[in-house]
Structure 1
Amino acid sequence: MQQIIKNGQLVQESWHLMPKDATLDVLPNSDDIIVPLALWLEHEHALKARDGGLGVWLESDEEIESIAPDSLPLFQVIALNFPAFTDGRHYSTARLLRDRYAYKGEIRAIGDVLQDQLFFMQRCGFDAFAVRPDRDPQAALAGLKDFSVAYQAAADQPLPLFRRR
Structure 2
Amino acid sequence: MREIIKDKVIVNDDWQVLRLAEGETPEGVSVPNGKIIVPLVVWQTQREALQGRAEIGVWIASDERPEELKGEVEKFAVIAVDFPKFSDGRGYSIAYNLRTRLGYEGELRAIGDVLRDQMFYMQRVGFNAFATRPDRNIHDALKALTDFSEAYQISVDRKSPLFRRVDRQAVAPK
TM-score, normalised by the number of residues in structure 2: 0.88
Deviations 1:81-137 (A, max 9, x none): 000000000100110011111110111000000000000000010000000010011
Corresponding letter in the other structure for 1:156: D
| Equivalent residues, number | 161
Instruction: List aligned pairs for 1:39-58, cutoff 5 A.
Output: 39-50=42-53, 52-58=54-60
Larger radius of gyration between Structure 1 and Structure 2:
2
CA distance in 2, matches of 1:133, 1:75: 25
Corresponding letter in the other structure for 1:105: G
C-alpha deviation, 1:20, in angstroms: 2.3
- Say whether 1:25 aligns with 2:30: yes
C-alpha deviation, 1:77, in angstroms: 0.6
TM-score, normalised by the number of residues in structure 1: 0.93
Q: 1:56 to 1:103 in 2, by over 3 A?
A: same
CA distance in 1, matches of 2:122, 2:30: 34
CA distance in 2, matches of 1:7, 1:134: 21
C-alpha deviation, 1:71, in angstroms: 1.2
Overall identity of the aligned pairs, in %:
49
Q: Match of 1:59?
A: 61
Give the secondary-structure state (helix, strand or coil) at the position aligned to 1:43. Answer: helix
- Say whether 1:83 aligns with 2:84: yes
Contact 2:67 2:102 in 1 (8 A): no
Contact 1:91 1:124 in 2 (8 A): yes
Give the secondary-structure state (helix, strand or coil) at the position aligned to 1:34. Answer: strand
Contact 1:24 1:43 in 2 (8 A): no
C-alpha deviation, 1:53, in angstroms: 1.1
Q: 1:99 to 1:26 in 2, by over 3 A?
A: closer
Instruction: List aligned pairs for 1:81-160, cutoff 5 A.
Output: 81-160=82-161
Q: Match of 1:8?
A: 8
CA distance in 2, matches of 1:149, 1:102: 25
Give the secondary-structure state (helix, strand or coil) at the position aligned to 1:62. Answer: coil
Contact 2:80 2:111 in 1 (8 A): yes
CA RMSD in angstroms comes to 1.3
C-alpha deviation, 1:24, in angstroms: 5.1
Q: 1:26 to 1:67 in 2, by over 3 A?
A: closer
Gaps of 5+ in 2: 167-174
Greater share of helix: 1
